[in-house]
Copies of this chain bind each other. A is one copy, B any other.
Amino acid sequence: MTRERLTLFDTTLRDGAQTNGVDFSVEDKVLIAGLLDELGLDYVEGGYPGANPTDNRLFTERRTKRAKFTAFGMTKRAGVSVSNDPGIAALIGAQSDAICYVAKSWDHQVRLALGTSTEENLEGIRLSVHAAIEAGKEALVDCEHFFDGYKANPDYALACARTAYEAGARWVVLCDTNGGSQPAEVEAIVRAVTEVVPGGHLGIHAHNDTEQAVANSLAAVRGGVRQIQGTLNGIGERCGNANLVSIIPTLLLKPFYAERFEIGVSLEALKGLTALSHRFDEIVNRAPNRQAPYVGASAFATKAGIHASAIVKDPSTYEHVPPESVGNSRRVLVSDQAGRSNLLAELSRLGIAVDKADTRLETLLSAVKEREAVGYSYEGADASFELLARRTLGTVPEYFTVESFHVTVERRFDAEGRRRHFSESEAVVKLRVGGERLLTVGEGNGPVNALDRALRKDLGVYQDVIADLELIDYKVRILNGGTEAVTRVLIESRDGTGASWSTVGVSENVVDASFEALIDSIVFKLVRAGVQPA
Protein backbone atom coordinates (compact mmCIF):
# COMPACT_ATOMS: atom_id res chain seq x y z
CA MET A 1 0.00 0.00 0.00
CA THR A 2 1.53 3.35 -1.06
CA ARG A 3 1.69 5.89 1.76
CA GLU A 4 0.49 9.47 1.48
CA ARG A 5 2.83 12.38 2.22
CA LEU A 6 2.03 14.53 5.27
CA THR A 7 3.52 18.04 5.31
CA LEU A 8 4.90 19.52 8.54
CA PHE A 9 4.75 23.28 9.08
CA ASP A 10 6.60 24.78 12.04
CA THR A 11 5.38 28.05 13.58
CA THR A 12 7.67 28.11 16.65
CA LEU A 13 9.21 31.40 15.53
CA ARG A 14 5.85 33.06 14.80
CA ASP A 15 2.97 31.69 16.87
CA GLY A 16 5.47 30.29 19.38
CA ALA A 17 6.82 33.81 19.86
CA GLN A 18 3.43 34.61 21.42
CA THR A 19 4.38 32.50 24.44
CA ASN A 20 4.33 34.40 27.71
CA GLY A 21 7.99 35.01 28.61
CA VAL A 22 9.50 34.03 25.26
CA ASP A 23 11.23 36.73 23.22
CA PHE A 24 13.50 35.55 20.40
CA SER A 25 16.43 37.59 19.17
CA VAL A 26 17.26 37.47 15.46
CA GLU A 27 20.20 35.21 16.37
CA ASP A 28 17.86 32.85 18.27
CA LYS A 29 15.54 32.69 15.26
CA VAL A 30 18.33 31.98 12.79
CA LEU A 31 19.69 29.22 15.04
CA ILE A 32 16.28 27.61 15.58
CA ALA A 33 15.36 27.83 11.88
CA GLY A 34 18.56 25.89 11.15
CA LEU A 35 17.69 23.18 13.68
CA LEU A 36 14.18 22.78 12.22
CA ASP A 37 15.59 22.65 8.70
CA GLU A 38 18.00 19.85 9.68
CA LEU A 39 15.22 17.91 11.40
CA GLY A 40 13.40 17.76 8.06
CA LEU A 41 10.39 20.04 8.42
CA ASP A 42 8.74 21.19 5.18
CA TYR A 43 7.93 24.79 6.21
CA VAL A 44 9.56 27.07 8.76
CA GLU A 45 7.52 30.18 9.52
CA GLY A 46 9.98 32.85 10.66
CA GLY A 47 7.72 35.63 11.83
CA TYR A 48 5.74 38.69 10.81
CA PRO A 49 7.78 41.08 8.62
CA GLY A 50 6.61 44.64 9.04
CA ALA A 51 5.37 44.03 12.57
CA ASN A 52 8.61 44.53 14.52
CA PRO A 53 12.33 45.26 13.96
CA THR A 54 13.41 41.68 14.84
CA ASP A 55 11.33 40.14 12.06
CA ASN A 56 12.30 42.87 9.61
CA ARG A 57 15.96 41.95 10.14
CA LEU A 58 15.21 38.23 10.04
CA PHE A 59 13.57 38.46 6.60
CA THR A 60 16.49 40.22 4.95
CA GLU A 61 17.68 36.69 4.06
CA ARG A 62 16.22 33.22 3.56
CA ARG A 63 17.13 31.32 6.72
CA THR A 64 16.57 27.70 5.61
CA LYS A 65 18.16 25.45 2.99
CA ARG A 66 15.56 22.70 2.46
CA ALA A 67 12.45 23.91 4.24
CA LYS A 68 10.30 26.63 2.66
CA PHE A 69 11.02 29.77 4.67
CA THR A 70 7.65 31.42 5.31
CA ALA A 71 6.53 34.92 6.20
CA PHE A 72 3.30 35.51 8.10
CA GLY A 73 0.94 38.46 7.76
CA MET A 74 -2.60 39.64 7.30
CA THR A 75 -4.57 39.69 4.07
CA LYS A 76 -5.16 43.00 2.35
CA ARG A 77 -7.00 45.60 4.41
CA ALA A 78 -10.43 46.70 3.29
CA GLY A 79 -10.55 50.01 1.47
CA VAL A 80 -6.99 50.03 0.14
CA SER A 81 -5.61 48.44 -3.01
CA VAL A 82 -3.04 45.64 -2.71
CA SER A 83 -0.36 47.99 -4.02
CA ASN A 84 -1.18 50.55 -1.33
CA ASP A 85 -1.30 48.10 1.57
CA PRO A 86 1.94 48.46 3.60
CA GLY A 87 1.39 45.03 5.21
CA ILE A 88 1.27 43.29 1.83
CA ALA A 89 4.28 45.31 0.69
CA ALA A 90 6.31 44.11 3.68
CA LEU A 91 5.35 40.49 2.94
CA ILE A 92 6.20 40.75 -0.76
CA GLY A 93 9.49 42.47 0.04
CA ALA A 94 10.53 39.89 2.63
CA GLN A 95 13.05 37.21 1.63
CA SER A 96 10.86 34.11 1.82
CA ASP A 97 9.68 31.17 -0.28
CA ALA A 98 6.11 31.37 0.91
CA ILE A 99 3.61 33.73 2.51
CA CYS A 100 1.10 32.50 5.08
CA TYR A 101 -1.82 34.93 5.25
CA VAL A 102 -4.17 34.96 8.20
CA ALA A 103 -7.80 35.65 7.29
CA LYS A 104 -10.90 35.49 9.45
CA SER A 105 -13.43 32.88 8.38
CA TRP A 106 -16.14 33.54 10.97
CA ASP A 107 -18.57 36.13 9.60
CA HIS A 108 -19.29 37.43 13.11
CA GLN A 109 -15.56 38.08 13.63
CA VAL A 110 -15.20 39.74 10.24
CA ARG A 111 -17.81 42.32 11.13
CA LEU A 112 -16.77 42.65 14.77
CA ALA A 113 -12.96 42.68 14.69
CA LEU A 114 -12.33 43.90 11.17
CA GLY A 115 -15.41 46.03 10.79
CA THR A 116 -15.57 45.10 7.12
CA SER A 117 -18.14 43.23 5.06
CA THR A 118 -17.95 39.49 4.50
CA GLU A 119 -17.61 40.18 0.77
CA GLU A 120 -14.68 42.55 1.26
CA ASN A 121 -13.03 39.86 3.39
CA LEU A 122 -13.34 37.29 0.58
CA GLU A 123 -12.02 39.86 -1.87
CA GLY A 124 -9.08 40.53 0.44
CA ILE A 125 -8.23 36.82 0.51
CA ARG A 126 -8.44 36.54 -3.29
CA LEU A 127 -6.30 39.60 -4.06
CA SER A 128 -3.72 38.82 -1.36
CA VAL A 129 -3.20 35.29 -2.69
CA HIS A 130 -2.84 36.66 -6.22
CA ALA A 131 -0.25 39.19 -5.00
CA ALA A 132 1.88 36.44 -3.46
CA ILE A 133 1.71 34.28 -6.59
CA GLU A 134 2.54 37.21 -8.87
CA ALA A 135 5.60 37.84 -6.68
CA GLY A 136 6.66 34.24 -7.35
CA LYS A 137 5.89 33.04 -3.84
CA GLU A 138 3.77 30.16 -2.61
CA ALA A 139 0.61 31.25 -0.84
CA LEU A 140 -0.98 29.71 2.27
CA VAL A 141 -4.15 30.98 3.90
CA ASP A 142 -4.69 30.45 7.62
CA CYS A 143 -8.47 30.51 8.17
CA GLU A 144 -8.72 32.03 11.66
CA HIS A 145 -11.62 30.85 13.86
CA PHE A 146 -12.48 28.27 11.21
CA PHE A 147 -14.13 25.70 13.48
CA ASP A 148 -16.13 28.20 15.55
CA GLY A 149 -16.98 29.97 12.31
CA TYR A 150 -18.13 26.74 10.70
CA LYS A 151 -20.37 25.95 13.67
CA ALA A 152 -21.93 29.42 13.47
CA ASN A 153 -22.14 29.78 9.68
CA PRO A 154 -20.80 26.83 7.65
CA ASP A 155 -21.53 28.48 4.31
CA TYR A 156 -19.34 31.49 5.00
CA ALA A 157 -16.50 29.47 6.54
CA LEU A 158 -16.53 27.22 3.47
CA ALA A 159 -16.69 30.27 1.19
CA CYS A 160 -13.42 31.55 2.76
CA ALA A 161 -11.71 28.18 2.25
CA ARG A 162 -13.00 27.86 -1.32
CA THR A 163 -12.00 31.44 -2.20
CA ALA A 164 -8.44 30.88 -0.95
CA TYR A 165 -8.14 27.58 -2.82
CA GLU A 166 -9.62 28.88 -6.08
CA ALA A 167 -7.38 31.98 -5.91
CA GLY A 168 -4.42 29.59 -6.02
CA ALA A 169 -3.40 29.09 -2.38
CA ARG A 170 -1.30 25.91 -2.11
CA TRP A 171 -2.62 25.29 1.42
CA VAL A 172 -5.82 26.31 3.17
CA VAL A 173 -5.15 25.94 6.89
CA LEU A 174 -8.06 25.36 9.24
CA CYS A 175 -7.34 27.14 12.49
CA ASP A 176 -8.87 26.27 15.87
CA THR A 177 -7.95 29.73 17.12
CA ASN A 178 -9.23 29.62 20.69
CA GLY A 179 -8.33 25.94 21.08
CA GLY A 180 -11.77 24.88 22.26
CA SER A 181 -12.74 22.33 19.60
CA GLN A 182 -12.94 18.60 20.36
CA PRO A 183 -11.30 15.90 18.19
CA ALA A 184 -14.58 14.33 17.02
CA GLU A 185 -15.86 17.76 15.91
CA VAL A 186 -12.59 18.54 14.16
CA GLU A 187 -12.62 15.24 12.27
CA ALA A 188 -16.26 15.68 11.19
CA ILE A 189 -15.84 19.31 10.09
CA VAL A 190 -12.63 18.54 8.18
CA ARG A 191 -14.52 15.76 6.31
CA ALA A 192 -17.16 18.30 5.31
CA VAL A 193 -14.50 20.76 4.10
CA THR A 194 -12.90 18.14 1.85
CA GLU A 195 -16.11 18.31 -0.24
CA VAL A 196 -15.04 21.84 -1.14
CA VAL A 197 -11.23 21.82 -0.97
CA PRO A 198 -9.23 18.63 -1.63
CA GLY A 199 -7.62 17.26 1.54
CA GLY A 200 -4.25 17.44 -0.17
CA HIS A 201 -4.59 21.22 0.08
CA LEU A 202 -5.86 21.40 3.67
CA GLY A 203 -3.91 21.98 6.87
CA ILE A 204 -4.69 22.02 10.59
CA HIS A 205 -3.53 24.61 13.16
CA ALA A 206 -4.53 23.50 16.66
CA HIS A 207 -4.13 24.98 20.14
CA ASN A 208 -3.90 23.15 23.44
CA ASP A 209 -6.61 24.82 25.49
CA THR A 210 -8.31 21.52 26.32
CA GLU A 211 -5.01 19.57 26.32
CA GLN A 212 -5.96 18.04 22.97
CA ALA A 213 -3.90 19.96 20.37
CA VAL A 214 -2.01 16.79 19.41
CA ALA A 215 -5.23 14.75 19.25
CA ASN A 216 -7.01 17.47 17.25
CA SER A 217 -4.15 17.58 14.75
CA LEU A 218 -4.23 13.81 14.28
CA ALA A 219 -8.05 13.78 14.15
CA ALA A 220 -7.84 16.35 11.35
CA VAL A 221 -5.43 14.05 9.48
CA ARG A 222 -7.95 11.22 9.80
CA GLY A 223 -10.55 13.68 8.50
CA GLY A 224 -8.42 14.43 5.45
CA VAL A 225 -5.94 17.28 6.01
CA ARG A 226 -2.37 16.71 4.81
CA GLN A 227 -0.53 19.54 6.57
CA ILE A 228 0.03 19.81 10.33
CA GLN A 229 1.14 23.10 11.91
CA GLY A 230 2.79 23.12 15.31
CA THR A 231 5.72 24.24 17.46
CA LEU A 232 8.77 22.85 19.26
CA ASN A 233 7.84 21.61 22.74
CA GLY A 234 4.33 22.91 22.11
CA ILE A 235 5.16 26.52 23.00
CA GLY A 236 2.62 29.13 22.01
CA GLU A 237 0.06 31.61 23.25
CA ARG A 238 -2.06 30.62 26.27
CA CYS A 239 -1.71 26.83 26.61
CA GLY A 240 0.44 26.48 23.53
CA ASN A 241 0.23 25.09 20.01
CA ALA A 242 0.20 21.50 18.80
CA ASN A 243 3.48 19.95 19.97
CA LEU A 244 5.49 18.74 16.96
CA VAL A 245 7.90 16.99 19.33
CA SER A 246 5.03 14.65 20.29
CA ILE A 247 3.40 14.48 16.84
CA ILE A 248 6.51 13.60 14.80
CA PRO A 249 7.45 10.39 16.68
CA THR A 250 3.80 9.34 16.78
CA LEU A 251 3.57 9.66 12.99
CA LEU A 252 6.83 7.76 12.48
CA LEU A 253 6.54 5.06 15.14
CA LYS A 254 2.84 4.26 15.52
CA PRO A 255 1.73 1.71 12.88
CA PHE A 256 -1.69 3.36 12.86
CA TYR A 257 -0.03 6.37 11.11
CA ALA A 258 3.27 4.98 9.82
CA GLU A 259 1.43 2.46 7.63
CA ARG A 260 -0.66 5.21 6.01
CA PHE A 261 1.64 8.24 5.85
CA GLU A 262 5.21 9.38 5.31
CA ILE A 263 6.86 12.64 6.42
CA GLY A 264 10.06 14.57 5.72
CA VAL A 265 11.65 13.59 9.04
CA SER A 266 13.76 10.41 8.79
CA LEU A 267 14.02 7.70 11.44
CA GLU A 268 17.69 8.70 11.69
CA ALA A 269 16.83 12.36 12.32
CA LEU A 270 14.26 11.22 14.89
CA LYS A 271 17.14 9.94 17.04
CA GLY A 272 18.15 13.58 17.53
CA LEU A 273 14.71 14.65 18.80
CA THR A 274 15.45 14.48 22.54
CA ALA A 275 18.64 16.51 22.12
CA LEU A 276 16.84 19.03 19.88
CA SER A 277 14.01 19.46 22.38
CA HIS A 278 16.45 20.09 25.24
CA ARG A 279 18.60 22.39 23.10
CA PHE A 280 15.50 24.44 22.34
CA ASP A 281 14.66 24.70 26.05
CA GLU A 282 18.18 25.98 26.65
CA ILE A 283 17.76 28.62 23.94
CA VAL A 284 14.53 29.90 25.52
CA ASN A 285 16.06 29.30 28.97
CA ARG A 286 13.33 27.02 30.29
CA ALA A 287 13.77 23.96 32.42
CA PRO A 288 12.92 20.95 30.23
CA ASN A 289 9.63 19.25 31.17
CA ARG A 290 10.67 15.95 32.75
CA GLN A 291 7.29 14.41 31.90
CA ALA A 292 7.31 15.44 28.24
CA PRO A 293 6.16 12.57 25.98
CA TYR A 294 9.05 10.83 24.16
CA VAL A 295 11.77 13.36 25.12
CA GLY A 296 11.26 14.00 28.86
CA ALA A 297 13.82 12.78 31.40
CA SER A 298 11.01 10.72 32.96
CA ALA A 299 9.39 9.59 29.69
CA PHE A 300 11.02 6.17 30.02
CA ALA A 301 11.62 6.16 33.75
CA THR A 302 10.17 3.40 35.88
CA LYS A 303 9.90 3.83 39.63
CA ALA A 304 10.69 1.08 42.09
CA GLY A 305 8.12 -1.65 42.43
CA ILE A 306 6.29 -4.22 40.36
CA HIS A 307 7.14 -2.47 37.11
CA ALA A 308 10.92 -2.38 37.51
CA SER A 309 11.34 -6.16 37.45
CA ALA A 310 8.92 -6.66 34.55
CA ILE A 311 10.68 -4.05 32.44
CA VAL A 312 13.92 -5.98 32.71
CA LYS A 313 12.16 -9.09 31.41
CA ASP A 314 10.42 -7.25 28.59
CA PRO A 315 10.83 -3.49 27.96
CA SER A 316 7.67 -3.33 25.84
CA THR A 317 5.73 -3.92 29.06
CA TYR A 318 6.02 -0.29 30.06
CA GLU A 319 7.70 1.28 27.02
CA HIS A 320 5.37 2.03 24.11
CA VAL A 321 8.37 2.70 21.83
CA PRO A 322 12.13 2.04 22.21
CA PRO A 323 13.68 5.07 24.00
CA GLU A 324 16.64 5.03 21.57
CA SER A 325 14.30 5.66 18.64
CA VAL A 326 13.90 9.26 19.86
CA GLY A 327 17.39 9.57 21.35
CA ASN A 328 16.11 9.16 24.89
CA SER A 329 17.12 6.45 27.36
CA ARG A 330 15.52 4.17 29.93
CA ARG A 331 15.82 5.06 33.57
CA VAL A 332 15.00 2.51 36.23
CA LEU A 333 14.99 4.91 39.11
CA VAL A 334 16.28 2.80 41.99
CA SER A 335 18.23 0.12 40.18
CA ASP A 336 21.59 1.30 38.81
CA GLN A 337 21.24 -0.94 35.76
CA ALA A 338 20.40 1.89 33.39
CA GLY A 339 22.75 4.32 35.09
CA ARG A 340 25.72 1.95 34.74
CA SER A 341 25.26 1.32 31.05
CA ASN A 342 24.64 5.00 30.32
CA LEU A 343 27.81 5.81 32.24
CA LEU A 344 29.91 3.27 30.32
CA ALA A 345 28.54 4.56 27.04
CA GLU A 346 29.35 8.13 28.03
CA LEU A 347 32.88 7.25 29.19
CA SER A 348 33.70 5.41 25.99
CA ARG A 349 32.30 8.38 24.07
CA LEU A 350 34.85 10.54 25.94
CA GLY A 351 37.60 8.02 25.18
CA ILE A 352 38.06 7.11 28.85
CA ALA A 353 38.85 3.39 29.05
CA VAL A 354 37.35 1.67 32.10
CA ASP A 355 36.76 -2.00 32.74
CA LYS A 356 33.07 -2.95 33.17
CA ALA A 357 34.02 -4.54 36.52
CA ASP A 358 35.97 -1.51 37.79
CA THR A 359 34.51 -0.67 41.22
CA ARG A 360 35.32 3.01 40.68
CA LEU A 361 32.34 3.03 38.30
CA GLU A 362 30.07 2.67 41.33
CA THR A 363 31.92 5.52 43.04
CA LEU A 364 31.49 7.71 39.98
CA LEU A 365 27.84 6.74 39.57
CA SER A 366 27.00 7.65 43.15
CA ALA A 367 29.05 10.85 42.87
CA VAL A 368 27.00 11.88 39.81
CA LYS A 369 23.75 11.03 41.61
CA GLU A 370 24.74 12.91 44.78
CA ARG A 371 25.79 15.98 42.81
CA GLU A 372 22.69 15.95 40.60
CA ALA A 373 20.61 15.64 43.77
CA VAL A 374 22.03 18.97 45.03
CA GLY A 375 21.50 20.74 41.70
CA TYR A 376 24.35 19.91 39.33
CA SER A 377 23.35 18.89 35.84
CA TYR A 378 25.84 17.18 33.59
CA GLU A 379 23.60 16.97 30.53
CA GLY A 380 24.60 20.51 29.63
CA ALA A 381 28.11 20.40 31.12
CA ASP A 382 30.16 17.76 29.32
CA ALA A 383 33.51 19.17 30.47
CA SER A 384 32.54 19.17 34.16
CA PHE A 385 31.34 15.59 33.78
CA GLU A 386 34.61 14.57 32.13
CA LEU A 387 36.58 16.21 34.95
CA LEU A 388 34.45 14.45 37.58
CA ALA A 389 35.00 11.14 35.81
CA ARG A 390 38.75 11.65 35.37
CA ARG A 391 39.12 12.79 39.00
CA THR A 392 37.32 9.67 40.20
CA LEU A 393 39.66 7.61 38.03
CA GLY A 394 42.58 9.64 39.37
CA THR A 395 43.88 11.11 36.13
CA VAL A 396 43.53 14.84 36.85
CA PRO A 397 46.65 16.49 38.26
CA GLU A 398 46.32 19.28 40.81
CA TYR A 399 47.44 22.25 38.74
CA PHE A 400 46.77 24.89 41.38
CA THR A 401 44.85 25.48 44.59
CA VAL A 402 42.68 28.50 45.25
CA GLU A 403 43.07 30.04 48.71
CA SER A 404 40.31 32.60 48.43
CA PHE A 405 38.61 35.16 46.29
CA HIS A 406 37.14 38.50 47.21
CA VAL A 407 34.74 40.44 45.01
CA THR A 408 33.32 43.91 45.53
CA VAL A 409 30.42 45.48 43.69
CA GLU A 410 29.94 49.18 44.15
CA ARG A 411 27.31 51.41 42.63
CA ARG A 412 26.63 55.11 43.03
CA PHE A 413 23.50 56.91 41.92
CA ASP A 414 23.03 60.53 40.93
CA ALA A 415 20.39 62.79 42.43
CA GLU A 416 17.82 61.58 39.89
CA GLY A 417 18.51 58.00 40.92
CA ARG A 418 20.31 57.21 37.66
CA ARG A 419 23.23 54.80 37.83
CA ARG A 420 26.59 56.53 37.56
CA HIS A 421 28.56 54.67 34.93
CA PHE A 422 32.01 53.36 35.68
CA SER A 423 33.40 49.86 35.95
CA GLU A 424 32.09 48.96 39.40
CA SER A 425 33.22 45.40 40.11
CA GLU A 426 36.61 44.27 41.33
CA ALA A 427 37.83 40.76 42.06
CA VAL A 428 40.94 39.56 43.88
CA VAL A 429 41.93 35.90 43.67
CA LYS A 430 44.65 34.29 45.75
CA LEU A 431 46.04 30.95 44.58
CA ARG A 432 49.07 28.68 44.71
CA VAL A 433 50.73 27.31 41.60
CA GLY A 434 53.41 24.78 42.56
CA GLY A 435 55.46 26.56 45.20
CA GLU A 436 54.45 30.01 43.98
CA ARG A 437 51.70 32.08 45.61
CA LEU A 438 49.83 34.34 43.19
CA LEU A 439 47.65 37.36 43.87
CA THR A 440 45.68 38.48 40.84
CA VAL A 441 43.10 41.22 40.45
CA GLY A 442 40.54 42.02 37.75
CA GLU A 443 37.93 44.66 37.05
CA GLY A 444 34.64 44.10 35.25
CA ASN A 445 31.14 45.39 34.71
CA GLY A 446 29.89 42.70 37.07
CA PRO A 447 31.27 40.34 39.71
CA VAL A 448 31.53 37.31 37.41
CA ASN A 449 33.16 39.30 34.64
CA ALA A 450 35.68 40.67 37.16
CA LEU A 451 36.47 37.16 38.48
CA ASP A 452 36.85 35.83 34.95
CA ARG A 453 39.33 38.58 34.09
CA ALA A 454 41.26 38.15 37.34
CA LEU A 455 41.63 34.39 36.81
CA ARG A 456 42.77 34.66 33.22
CA LYS A 457 45.13 37.56 33.87
CA ASP A 458 47.79 35.57 35.68
CA LEU A 459 47.98 31.81 36.10
CA GLY A 460 51.77 31.83 36.21
CA VAL A 461 53.32 28.97 34.22
CA TYR A 462 49.95 28.07 32.68
CA GLN A 463 49.31 31.54 31.30
CA ASP A 464 50.38 30.69 27.75
CA VAL A 465 48.07 27.68 27.63
CA ILE A 466 44.96 29.58 28.73
CA ALA A 467 45.77 32.75 26.79
CA ASP A 468 43.33 31.85 23.99
CA LEU A 469 40.59 30.65 26.35
CA GLU A 470 37.43 32.65 25.83
CA LEU A 471 34.10 32.63 27.63
CA ILE A 472 31.30 32.55 25.05
CA ASP A 473 28.11 31.81 26.99
CA TYR A 474 26.87 32.14 30.52
CA LYS A 475 23.54 30.84 31.82
CA VAL A 476 22.02 31.08 35.27
CA ARG A 477 19.12 29.02 36.54
CA ILE A 478 17.57 29.32 39.98
CA LEU A 479 16.60 25.84 41.07
CA ASN A 480 14.01 26.79 43.68
CA GLY A 481 12.31 30.02 44.67
CA GLY A 482 13.70 32.80 46.86
CA THR A 483 17.10 34.55 46.94
CA GLU A 484 18.29 31.78 49.25
CA ALA A 485 17.61 29.25 46.50
CA VAL A 486 20.33 27.17 44.88
CA THR A 487 21.85 28.73 41.78
CA ARG A 488 23.16 26.70 38.87
CA VAL A 489 25.58 28.38 36.48
CA LEU A 490 26.46 26.93 33.08
CA ILE A 491 29.46 28.37 31.26
CA GLU A 492 30.50 27.66 27.70
CA SER A 493 34.13 28.29 26.77
CA ARG A 494 36.10 28.21 23.55
CA ASP A 495 39.75 28.31 22.57
CA GLY A 496 41.79 29.18 19.50
CA THR A 497 41.33 25.70 18.02
CA GLY A 498 37.58 26.45 17.82
CA ALA A 499 36.85 23.67 20.31
CA SER A 500 34.17 24.58 22.86
CA TRP A 501 33.18 22.96 26.17
CA SER A 502 30.67 23.54 28.97
CA THR A 503 31.13 23.57 32.72
CA VAL A 504 28.74 23.82 35.66
CA GLY A 505 28.83 25.32 39.13
CA VAL A 506 26.24 25.18 41.91
CA SER A 507 25.92 27.23 45.09
CA GLU A 508 23.49 29.31 47.12
CA ASN A 509 25.69 32.16 45.92
CA VAL A 510 25.67 33.08 42.22
CA VAL A 511 29.26 34.37 42.39
CA ASP A 512 30.45 31.14 44.02
CA ALA A 513 28.69 29.00 41.45
CA SER A 514 30.17 31.06 38.63
CA PHE A 515 33.65 30.80 40.11
CA GLU A 516 33.36 27.01 40.29
CA ALA A 517 32.36 26.80 36.63
CA LEU A 518 35.18 29.18 35.61
CA ILE A 519 37.76 27.05 37.45
CA ASP A 520 36.43 23.85 35.84
CA SER A 521 36.73 25.48 32.44
CA ILE A 522 40.39 26.41 32.99
CA VAL A 523 41.32 22.99 34.43
CA PHE A 524 39.57 21.25 31.54
CA LYS A 525 41.58 23.31 29.07
CA LEU A 526 44.82 22.35 30.87
CA VAL A 527 43.87 18.65 30.89
CA ARG A 528 42.96 18.73 27.20
CA ALA A 529 46.27 20.41 26.43
CA GLY A 530 48.03 17.61 28.30
CA VAL A 531 49.82 20.12 30.54
CA GLN A 532 51.92 18.70 33.39
CA PRO A 533 51.46 20.35 36.81
CA ALA A 534 54.13 22.80 37.99
Contacts and interface: CB of A to CB of B under 8 A. Distances in A.
Given A183-B183, A471-B482, A239 B296 contact: yes
A180 interface: yes
A27 B445 CA distance: 36
A333 interface: yes
B314 A112 contact: yes
A371 interface: no
A184 B254 CA distance: 12
A518 to B, nearest CB: 9
Contacts of A508: 445-446, 449
Interface stretch (A203-211, A261-269, A459-467): A203-211
Nearest to A182: B256
B210 A250 contact: yes
A366 interface: no
Interface stretch (A18-26, A35-43, A166-174, A356-364): A18-26
Interface in A413-472: 413, 415, 417, 419, 424-425, 444-449, 452, 471-472
A80 interface: no
A509 interface: yes
A243 interface: yes
B219 A183 contact: yes
Contacts of A299: 209, 238-239
Given A239-B299, A417-B401, A447-B447, A291 B182 contact: no
Interface residues of A, number: 131
A453 B348 CA distance: 49
A277 interface: no
A97 to B, nearest CB: 24
Interface in A215-229: 215, 218-219, 222
17 contacts: A18-B304, A21-B380, A23-B377, A51-B337, A52-B337, A183-B215, A184-B222, A209-B293, A239-B296, A402-B413, A405-B411, A408-B408, A409-B512, A425-B509, A446-B510, A447-B510, A471-B483
